[in-house]
Amino acid sequence: MSLPRRARAARTGAQPWIAAPAALATVAVAGVLAWALRGHAARIAVVAGVAALVAPILWVIASALRPALPDRRCPRCGAVALVLLRRDDPIGVRCRACAFEDPETYVAYLKDVMDDPEVSGPPTADGTRS
Ligand SMILES: [Zn+2]
């Protein structure tokens, strides 16, 4: 018994029938653009080259000025209240709003913001934060 066509295509990575015409259309559009812009090749090359040099530098500057923040949204209640279960372990979170707790969830960058009292809450009696 054979799989349905879509399931077989998904398993094997085969493209649907539209892939070949789409590839030909892409080549045709590229050819038309190359023909239409043939007199400006040097200008286009300079602009593309400058963009290739400047874009990564701008990306590094933007990343340094605005570092990534953890997604603290609770998967159960949607409140922005996830905190680490244990301060020294980056795996395991709980929600302060609904008591959701998952010892296997990893939230990127959550450990980096746990020193912020606004995130981790006031210190407890033994000096640690929850
Ligand atoms: Zn919650």
Instruction: Find the 58 Cα to ligand 1 centroid distance in Å.
Output: 37
Report which of residues 124 and 68 the model is more confident about.
68
How many whole angstroms from 80 Cα to the centroid of ligand 1? Answer: 8
Q: Decide if pLDDT at 1 tops 50.
A: no
In angstroms, what is the span from residue 62 Cα to ligand 1's centroid? Answer: 31
Mean pLDDT for the stretch of residues 60-66: 91
Q: Contact at 8 Å (CB) between 74 and 81?
A: yes
| All structural domains of the chain with their residue ranges | 5-65, 68-130
Find the 31 Cα to ligand 1 centroid distance in Å: 54
Whether the model pTM is above 0.75: no
pLDDT digits (tens, 9 = 90+) for 36-49: 988 998 999 999 99
Write down the CATH number for the domain with range 68-130. Answer: 2.20.25
**Do the beta carbons of residue 83 and residue 121 sit within 8 Å?**
yes
